[in-house]
Amino acid sequence: MAGSCEISSLFSNYISAMYQPEEVPPDPDVLTHLGDDDNLPLPLSNLHMPTETTGKPTWYGEMPHCWSKSQVLEWISYHVEKNKYDASAIDFSCCNMDGYTLCQYTRDQLGLIFGPLGDELYDRLHEITSVPDELAWIMSVLRNEEVSQESLLDSNPLDLGNSCSQEYLEEMKLANLFSQPDLGYFSGAMSPDSSGSVTGTMSQSPHSQDSGGSDLDLDPIDMKHCPFSDGDYKKDLKKRKRGRPRKASKENRDCLETKKSKHSPRGIHLWEFIRDILIHPEMNEGLLKWEDRREGIFKFLRSEAVAQLWGQKKKNSSMTYEKLSRAMRYYYKREILERVDGRRLVYKFGKNSSGWKEEEVQERS
DNA sequence: GTCTCGTTTCCTGTTT
DNA sequence: TAAACAGGAAACGAGA
């Protein structure tokens, strides 16, 4: 449990460091009458207050397992107020617990402590803690990389694989692949299910012309393990042909096969990935936002960051918003998405998409 | 082996 | 002028 706590903490810190959301959750109103209780470990007047710097409650964005006692109280206070619940019916001496303890309680136990509010608290708690696969995966990315919080905060916001980056950076330098300008930034994240196998590659700027100048479209990292890699990779910067370059021949691919699992399932579709981020706002700080939930209209707030996450998901560190958006545009034809004219970074779910409507989300949970 | 699907990559041109 | 959008073309890997 300590592990998951650390991960979720990492996640929230990572998100906080990475994004500065345009929107904040509704500020919990000031709770004026929670009743007097000498057993309270902290003055209630402070519990529900948003943090000074962010304007958000302190529990927001953190996994419940990691909440401190004060955050637990703050969260309970928030729901007391939200549900207009009579706080005098609550034995606040039982609230002196941290998030981990809170998460251990069953519905019945919460019902005993909080009465009718217990059900509500239980549901809300499990809403937060039931992390969808895709977001759990995002966390696992961080876990696999064993990213320190310090390095997260120090890192380039889009450098998702910073712990690996330095190592690979050194390797890349050795391979003389960084001697050319404009090769873009570096991202060496390990794939979540690679069991430590290296899939780190060099990211390229969206418009770099050298991303596929050769017919052998190999990852530089992988290339250095191949006997035919001589460091002259991308020497030839001649204008490339249209379309995606051919991948390596089978012979050359065998060289790469040691790096990648032979059978990786296709997994979820891009639009589902986007949808899942959207329908879990507690995990989506500043990536995407609903413009009109009823209509299914949403907007990319951090387009490149979403692209990076998608790239990580697909073990493709060179994913960019430009490429992601091309895939999004293919959905127009299939009516999974609809055009929203005149608005940048704005898309709308079409009639062939599903699972994003509030009713559907509620049904699934 | 072939085909389809869902992308991915790159490109040129247009719009904001 | 840059960023985003649009869509053609070609390629890829996975699965049927």
Phi and psi dihedrals of A290, rounded to 5? -75, 130
User: Which nucleotides on strand B sit less than 7 A from a protein beta carbon?
Assistant: 6-12, 16
Q: Identify whether the C-beta of residue A66 lies closer than 8 Å to the C-beta of residue A51.
A: no
Report the pLDDT value the prediction gives residue A326, as an integer from 0 to 100. Answer: 93
* pLDDT above 50 (res A358): yes
User: Which nucleotides on strand C sit less than 7 A from a protein beta carbon?
Assistant: 4-15
Q: Minimal CA–CA distance to A270: which of A221, A314, A304?
A: A314
Measured CA to CA in angstroms, residue A255 lies from A61, A174, A233 at distances of 42, 20, 16
Report the pLDDT value the prediction gives residue A249, as an integer from 0 to 100. Answer: 43
Q: Which residue is nearest to nucleotide C4 (CA to C1')?
A: A344
Tell me how far apart the alpha carbons of residues A72 and A3 are, in angstroms, rounded to a whole number. 20
**Which residues make up the interface with nucleic strand B when CB must lie under 7 A?**
A 204, 209, 211-212, 217, 239-240, 242-245, 266, 269-271, 310-311, 314, 316, 318-319, 322-324, 326-327, 330, 334, 341-342, 344
Say which amino acid occupies A178.
F
Could you tell me the distance in Å between the CA of residue A351 and the C1' of nucleotide C15?
A: 26
Give the predicted TM-score (pTM) of the model. 0.47
Sign, CA torsion A269/A135/A27/A127: positive
pLDDT tens-digit readout, A288-332? 999 998 999 999 998 998 998 898 888 888 899 999 999 999 999
